[in-house]
């Protein structure tokens, strides 16, 4: 039981990491809580569903295409819903409101287009899991670990070593200064959006291999990305990884003793605790 809980926590933590990394780099550069982040997750799962089940593409291809299409969609959304506010230097809550509108719009569009019933990415019989110190781990879960591990490493390389990554970090530090030294900040904003959404889309596709695809699947994902990023300090990349695993362990060990329906409750209590207490501990900067 104990080993099983640890495995479940690590797998949940890896998915949350993909979500929280996207959420946190979007917050870091664009400076607002993207309430439409869960939508990128749901869109990713639906696009994978279309590519994999409807068009019968190979899984890796379907996933990559889905990430790409989700990223492009979100860049389009950025142009319509956020670009104007950004150029007008609207306060960050206006962007939050706009992203709530985006989330409602796309979610109801998904439910209109695909129907509100659940769909699945699974093909055929569920594969039996491997036994591992008395716990069970399924092949899909191993894939989740591998893919999210690779993506985490790639993202770190991108942020730390490439010119684009440096430009991204510079922009999130000081957009005005960055544009003075010749960084095209608008394209940084767009590419950050694309990158963050693509990560969420892959998380959604991976989860869809195990569970179902449905229009409101983004709610829980949004919650998890918010909580994981807040725990680690929003905008902080290593913090997001830590926060994700912290959340994964807290949820899984929490429901050990409680009913599983309280899982979201645990995440939210962590959210409120960290929002209220963390600034006092670490002097977390609150941007106006």
Nearer to other proteins, 57 or 100 (CB): 100
- Shortest distance in whole angstroms from residue 132 CB to other proteins: 32
Which of 67, 45, 76 lies closest to 199, judged by CA? 67
Q: Which is nearer to other proteins, 109 or 130 (CB)?
A: 109
Give contact residues for other proteins (rule: CB under 8 A).
32-33, 80-81, 84-85, 88, 90-94, 96-98, 100-109, 111-112, 115-116, 219, 223, 226, 230, 259, 261-262, 264-265, 268-269, 271-272, 275-276, 279, 286-288
Q: Is the CB of 135 or the CB of 275 nearer to other proteins?
A: 275
In this complex, which beta carbon is closest to other proteins, that of residue 131 or of residue 286? 286
What does the DSSP assignment read for 175-199? HHHHHHTT--HHHHHHHHHHHHHHH
d(CA 265, CA 220): 11
Q: How far is the CB of 128 from other proteins (least distance, A)?
A: 33
Cβ atoms 121, 208 nearer than 8 A: yes
Task: Pick the closer one to other proteins by CB: 131 or 259.
Answer: 259
CA distances from 44 to 62, 74, 131, 245 (A): 10, 11, 30, 22
Strands (E), the chain: 119-120, 130-132, 135-137, 212-213
CB of 71 to other proteins, least distance (A): 20
Least distance from C-beta 215 to other proteins, angstroms?
A: 9
Q: Return the H-helix or E-strand segment holding 28.
A: helix 2-30
Residue 109 CB, nearest approach to other proteins (Å): 6
């Amino acid at each position: 039981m104990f080993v099983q809980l640890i495995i479940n926590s690590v797998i949940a933590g890896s998915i949350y990491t993909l979500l929280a990394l996207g959420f946190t780099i979007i917050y870091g550069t664009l400076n607002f809580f993207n309430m439409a982040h869960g939508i990128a997750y749901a869109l990713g799962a639906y696009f994978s569903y279309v590519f994999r089940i409807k068009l019968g593409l190979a899984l890796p291809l379907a996933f990559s295409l889905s990430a790409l299409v989700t990223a492009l969609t979100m860049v389009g959304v950025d142009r319509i819903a956020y670009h104007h506010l950004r150029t007008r230097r609207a306060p960050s809550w206006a962007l939050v409101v706009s992203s709530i509108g985006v989330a409602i719009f796309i979610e109801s569009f998904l439910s209109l287009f695909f129907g509100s019933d659940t769909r699945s990415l699974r093909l055929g019989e569920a594969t039996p899991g491997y036994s591992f110190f008395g716990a069970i781990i399924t092949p899909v879960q191993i894939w989740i670990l591998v893919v999210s591990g690779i993506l985490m490493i790639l993202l770190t390389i991108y942020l730390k070593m490439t010119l684009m990554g440096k430009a991204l970090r510079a922009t999130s530090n000081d957009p005005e200064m960055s544009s003075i030294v010749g960084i095209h900040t608008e394209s940084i904003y767009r590419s950050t959006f694309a990158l963050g959404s693509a990560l969420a889309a892959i998380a959604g596709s991976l989860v869809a291999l195990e569970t179902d695809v449905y229009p409101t699947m983004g709610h829980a994902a949004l919650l998890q990305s918010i909580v994981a990023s807040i725990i680690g300090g929003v905008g902080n990349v290593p913090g997001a990884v830590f926060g994700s695993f912290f959340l994964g362990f807290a949820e899984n060990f929490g429901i050990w003793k409680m009913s599983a329906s309280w899982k979201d409750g645990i995440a939210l209590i962590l959210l409120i605790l960290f929002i209220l207490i963390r600034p006092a501990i670490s002097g977390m900067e609150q941007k106006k």
